[in-house]
A and B are shown apart, each in its own frame.
Chain A
Amino acid sequence: MNGRRSDETVEQVRPGTAHRERDAAVTTAATDAARIEGLLPSQTPLQLIDPQGRPTAGHGALPPPEALRRLYRDMVVGRRFDTQATALTKQGRLAVYPSSRGQEACEVGAALAMREQDWLFPTYRDSVAIVSRSVDPIEVLCLLRGEWHCGYDPYEHRVAPQCTPLATNTLHAVGLAHAARLKGEDTIAVVLLGDGASSEGDTHEALNFAGVWNAPVVFLVQNNGYAISVPLAKQTAAPSLAYKGIGYGVRSVLIDGNDPAVVYASVREAVEGAAAGGGPTLIEAITYRMEAHTNADDASRYRADAEVQRWLARDPLTRLETYLREHDLLDDERAAAVQAEAEEFAASVRERMNQDDELDPAELFEHVYARPTAQLVAQRQELLAELGNQEDA
């Protein structure tokens, strides 16, 4: 793929190496140029399947058919899950839901490209990626349902809690991945962030640390065009967000984020590169958020309907479906089976979400410290007495 490296170039562009050379004042203009070349993203987004479902020439090999079929299945299920979650907000079952409809290629592509031992660092928007990482959907929705701040065990699934303060997860990913290397573990981290989050100081510090430490991290920026209402043009003057890697010595890749094949292939390549000691990669995926920022947001205030309609034509699901059908990897029967699976998945989410769980207010005091302080024990007793009195009354 364009801008990617063989094992040899990995050696050449490894940031640590180049800096040591520079310290010794032996760097030549020629190696610098090669190094810069190795970091630069392409000027147009890489694509493996175009919006019409046709394979594109010259951008590298498509993922194997089995991977493409799995992508298709998880994207169909993911989309159904997403529309179900949006519906649950209307019934008041969820406090809020940030939809990722339209971004399934990124969500599922990233999750499936990871190896089991790798860690995912998602944001509030990335429920579909977490579902695709096989976390129980009800556990995923726990935060948004308003019952606890994170519903799953991060260690069980190697998925960090969904992060709400923007860009802060980038540094956690770098730290975890670096620790893995120090411990000799074959684990890398994939961190998801948005175009808006790329402006936060933490993103820049994370890229810099990752570069300096040659940390095994993949930064996947889902550039969906808007940070709530603010369009990319007001977010950055950079030619593309992928260029932000260069200044930190981090290899950067610009891809079509609505092409599941290219997302999968790029993340996979970055994961494998990082695992092999090749250091971090920044991937900017150009995509679009079809729904409003959350169910509470009114997108008509800041974007034209015509724009949304234009992106409908770039739907990542139809693109992959067309490709698969034309290459005899999908037929009506299989498509119907996947659709039925998605319906079943949604129905089970719906059903399980319609049950009111008994919440125990005493749990509020449980996890503030490893061992509850005397102060919290007292407050717990006060609260329980108060609730007891209410029941008596």
Chain B
Amino acid sequence: MAGALNAALADALADDPRVLVFGEDVAALGGVFRVTDGLAQRFGETRVFDTPLAESGIVGTAIGMAMNGLVPVVEMQFDAFAYPAFEQITSHLAKLHNRTRGKVALPVVVRVPFGGGIGGVEHHCDSSEAYYTHTPGLRVVAPGTPADAYLLLRQAIACPDPVIFLEPKRRYWSRESAELTTNGPGIDSAAIRRAGTDVTLIGYGGTVGTVLDAAEAATAEGWDVEVIDLRSLSPFDDATVSASVRRTGRAVVVHEASRFGGYGAEVVARLTEQCFHYLQAPILRVTGLDIPYPPPKLEQHHLPDVDRILDAIARLQWDDHV
């Protein structure tokens, strides 16, 4: 996935001279995850450059650059290290368009490696999507596959709105080969990754792989599972997701972030509103625990895994199973 993101950045830089890539350690080092590897060498340090270590400064100056016609793609080094930029993101990046009655467009992409599963110490594994999706004016997207990482990042850079681009860091090193193309579902859409009839599993980012594995394992138990990769967390693709849940009548939402007040609550609420009469069972959530992200040796107890997803499916009031 890191390679797909790198290709997306390179292609965007090549196609549009207004595009800039900057952040901490993105130039010589190529980013701590090597997502920007080689870009500074190829495009020069006026287009791809290191900044002082100051996230508020990075996002704040990106806003000013965008106001003056450039298209900044900035990197936050880790999810929790984007918090110093929160003020700039929520108060300004999200709102300038609205505040100026549409006069100011901010085509800024803020890339945030997010989530855990990499054995990282504290502050390196947060899932901060709920903070961003709760902020009107931001688009929030999260690719789950390398092909989609390329496609979504190209779309995010082309998008006239600010985009919080959440990269599931545990997928950076996934070695799936993928055709990289800009043809595919739009930036607002969810994608059905696997068709099924009995239950809809909904995941995004780092949980897409887990959900697909769970769907595979569920066939052994006799369940035919449909898998939806949300891709776009905000806006939410009501049409695709509710059509699926209406077909299957059952759904489980899976994310790594803590459950309470989490993004899954929004998904469940919307689906309940839209699909209530089609539901055979309450919609369940399989999520992280309501605790600060645990130390690496205990993170497996926090993260949703295939077993927990299968347990949730089993709890969906099946007459013929149990």
Contact = CB atoms under 8 A, between A and B. Distances in A.
A105 B178 CA distance: 51
A361 interface: yes
B43 interface: no
A199 B54 contact: yes
A229 B25 contact: yes
Given A228-B29, A376-B290, A165 B83 contact: yes
A136 to B, nearest CB: 18
Interface stretch (A41-49, A141-149, A208-216): A141-149
Nearest to B85: A201
Interface in A140-158: 143-149
Nearest to A165: B123
B291 A236 contact: no
A301 B25 CA distance: 11
Main secondary structure of the interface of B (DSSP, over half): loop
Given A199-B53, A229-B50, A146 B292 contact: no
A234 B50 CA distance: 7
Given A95-B296, A147-B297, A200 B84 contact: yes
Contact of B121 (A146, A228, A375): A146
Nearest to B77: A228
B57 interface: yes
A146 B119 contact: yes
B302 interface: yes
Interface in A8-38: none
Interface string B110-152: 0000000001111110000000000000000000000000000
A75 interface: no
A149 B54 contact: no
A193 B131 CA distance: 28
Interface string B209-251: 0000000000000000000000000000000000000000000
B121 A96 contact: yes
B75 interface: no
Given A95-B120, A165-B81, A235 B53 contact: yes
Interface in B69-104: 80-81, 83-84
Interface residue tally of chain A, by bracket?
35 or more
B28 interface: yes
A228 B28 CA distance: 11
Nearest to A146: B296
Given A146-B121, A164-B121, A301 B298 contact: no
Contacts of A227: 24-25, 53
Contacts of B120: 95-96
A379 B258 CA distance: 11
Nearest to B122: A149
Contacts of A164: 121-124
Interface string A357-373: 00101001100100000
Given A148-B295, A199-B52, A230 B25 contact: yes
Contacts, number: 109
B301 interface: yes
A376 B291 contact: yes
A146 B295 contact: yes
A227 B289 CA distance: 34
A51 to B, nearest CB: 28
A298 B311 CA distance: 42
Interface residues on B, range: 35 or more
A146 B291 contact: no
A316 interface: no
A205 B79 CA distance: 23
Interface in B297-312: 297-298, 301-302, 307-308, 311
Contacts of A375: 260, 290
A235 B307 CA distance: 47
A272 interface: no
Nearest to B54: A199
B220 to A, nearest CB: 15
Given A146-B121, A165-B80, A230-B53, A359 B290 contact: no
B301 A383 contact: yes
A230 B24 CA distance: 8
B262 interface: no
Which 5 interchain pairs have the tightest Cβ spacing? A146-B296, A229-B29, A196-B53, A199-B52, A302-B28
Interface of B: 24-25, 27-30, 32, 50-57, 80-81, 83-84, 119-124, 260, 289-292, 294-298, 301-302, 307-308, 311
Given A228-B32, A376-B291, 12 more contacts: A145-B297, A149-B121, A149-B122, A201-B57, A227-B25, A228-B24, A229-B29, A230-B25, A301-B30, A368-B290, A379-B289, A386-B311
30 contacts: A95-B121, A143-B122, A145-B297, A148-B295, A149-B121, A149-B122, A149-B295, A165-B81, A196-B53, A197-B53, A199-B54, A200-B53, A200-B54, A200-B55, A201-B56, A227-B53, A229-B27, A230-B25, A230-B52, A230-B53, A235-B52, A236-B52, A298-B29, A301-B29, A302-B29, A361-B301, A365-B289, A365-B291, A379-B289, A386-B311
Interface of A: 95-96, 143-149, 164-166, 196-197, 199-202, 227-230, 234-236, 297-298, 301-302, 359, 361, 364-365, 368, 375-376, 379, 383, 386-387
